[in-house]
């Protein structure tokens, strides 16, 4: 069994645009190779927005060199990018955007949700790409809740939504470039779940709601992140009350990381090239 490496509790709140009151739970700048193949996890805990006919969000901005994965728990989100992809997602749905060689995109509250107002709750994960795929064409996957398999746990312990990777032999719909698992677990109080993770792979869990026990006696609560050691197989979580856990695992990408804002490459020269390409319009145009 993998051992717990750390429980990360000090994520500082900040706003992304005017629509996303997030905490940066994971950041490559802070946590480095320990979280590879992931680069960032921003979590926006439940937050009430009043109704508006001017949806809040983030104006167009570029990305290059990785993927952004947005998981909606409450509210709704609309995405549009310069590669011609667009999508609207709601609770239980996921947007998996492959920026790769570069896109501009906009991320706003979905107009229907914005007009109604109410609770908004999302997580956004950045998944790194290996050097050989960083300049691949951009892509986009809308993964609707209806297309995300649900695995029932034994003894009515809860249900695991398999977004990417395979849980208990059931494979999620996301196409990934390297082995990545993203599982949303809804656990009854007292339920214990053991996640199959290979030796050498990263494993971690965002506690979205509730309270869980990990390792021998450590407890993690809402908005905290459990990071296990790469060494050892499998990671286990026991829910101390009804809990929602976003479980992440993946094969580390052991390559140099050069990151600046929305660009994540392997060298400083590639970052300079990304800035020039963005400024000269080579990452695309939007109306
Ligand atoms: Mn973005």
Task: Give the Cα separation of 124 and 239 in Å (integer).
Answer: 23
Number of other residues whose CB lies within 10 A of the CB of residue 268: 11
Phi, psi of 209 (to 5 degrees): -155, 150
Tokens 């993946």 map to which residue?
250
Which pLDDT score, from 0 to 100, does residue 216 have? 84
Tell me the C-alpha distance between 73 and 90, whole Å: 8
Length of the chain: 287
Could you tell me which of 90, 86, 42, 32 has the C-alpha nearest to residue 60? Answer: 86
Residue 178 burial by Cβ neighbours in a 10 Å radius (0-12, 13-18, 19+): middle
Cα–ligand 1 centroid distance for 62 (angstroms) = 7
Cα(28) to centroid(ligand 1), Å: 16
Q: Cα dist. 92→39, 146, 267 in Å?
A: 23, 9, 36
- Cβ contact 198:233 at 8 Å: yes
SS3 202: strand
Angle in degrees, CA 83, 125, 16, rounded to 5: 80
Q: How far is the CA of 72 from the centre of ligand 1 (A)?
A: 15
d(CA 22, CA 121): 9
Q: How far is the CA of 58 from the centre of ligand 1 (A)?
A: 8
Residues of the chain with confidence (pLDDT) below 50? none
Instruction: Kindly report the pTM of this predicted structure.
Output: 0.97
Task: State how far the alpha carbon of 262 is from the alpha carbons of 123, 179, 265, in Å.
Answer: 17, 23, 10
Q: How far apart are CA 80 and CA 78, in angstroms?
A: 7
Predicted local confidence at residue 215, as pLDDT:
86
pLDDT the model gives residue 273 = 98
**Ligand 1 centre and the CA of 104: distance in Å?**
8
CA of 107 to the centre of ligand 1 (A): 7
- How many Å is the maximal CA-CA distance in the chain? 58
CB 243 within 8 A of CB 211: yes
Beta bridge partners of 166: 171
Determine contact, residues 251/179, Cβ cutoff 8 Å: yes
State in Å: Cα 233 to ligand 1 middle: 33
Both tokens assigned to 9: 């509790």
Half-sphere exposure of 166 (CA within 13 A, CB side): 5
Query: Ligand 1 centroid vs 61 CA: distance in angstroms?
Result: 6
Helix (H, G, I), strand (E, B) or coil at 97: strand
Query: Which tokens hold the place of 26?
Result: 């994971």
Q: Ligand 1 centroid vs 81 CA: distance in angstroms?
A: 10
Q: Which helix (H) or strand (E) holds 275?
A: helix 268-279
């Amino acid at each position: 069994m993998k051992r717990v490496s750390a429980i990360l509790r000090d994520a500082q709140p900040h706003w992304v645009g005017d629509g996303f009151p997030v905490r940066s739970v994971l950041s490559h700048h802070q946590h480095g190779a320990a979280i590879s193949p992931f680069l960032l996890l921003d979590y926006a805990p439940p937050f009430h927005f009043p109704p508006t006919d001017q949806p809040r969000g983030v104006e167009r901005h570029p990305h290059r060199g990785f993927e952004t994965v947005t998981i909606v728990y409450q509210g709704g989100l609309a995405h549009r990018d310069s590669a011609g992809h667009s999508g609207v997602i709601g609770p239980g749905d996921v947007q998996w955007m492959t920026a790769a060689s570069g896109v501009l995109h906009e991320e706003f509250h979905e107009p229907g949700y914005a007009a109604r107002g109410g609770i908004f709750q999302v997580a956004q994960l950045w998944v790194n790409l290996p050097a050989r795929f960083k300049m691949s064409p951009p892509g986009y996957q809308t993964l609707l809740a209806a297309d995300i398999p649900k695995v029932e746990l034994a003894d009515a312990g809860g249900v695991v939504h398999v977004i990417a990777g395979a849980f208990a032999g059931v494979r999620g719909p996301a196409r990934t470039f390297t082995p990545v698992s993203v599982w949303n677990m809804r656990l009854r109080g007292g339920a214990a779940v053991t996640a199959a993770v290979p030796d050498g792979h990263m494993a971690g869990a965002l506690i979205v709601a509730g309270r869980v026990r990990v390792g021998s006696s450590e407890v993690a609560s809402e908005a905290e992140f459990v990071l296990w050691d790469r060494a050892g197989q499998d990671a286990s979580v026991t829910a101390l009350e009804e809990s929602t856990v976003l479980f992440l695992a993946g094969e580390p990408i052991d390559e140099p990381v050069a990151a600046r804002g929305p660009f994540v490459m392997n060298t400083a020269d590639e970052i300079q090239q990304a800035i020039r390409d963005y400024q000269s319009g080579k990452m695309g145009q939007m109306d």
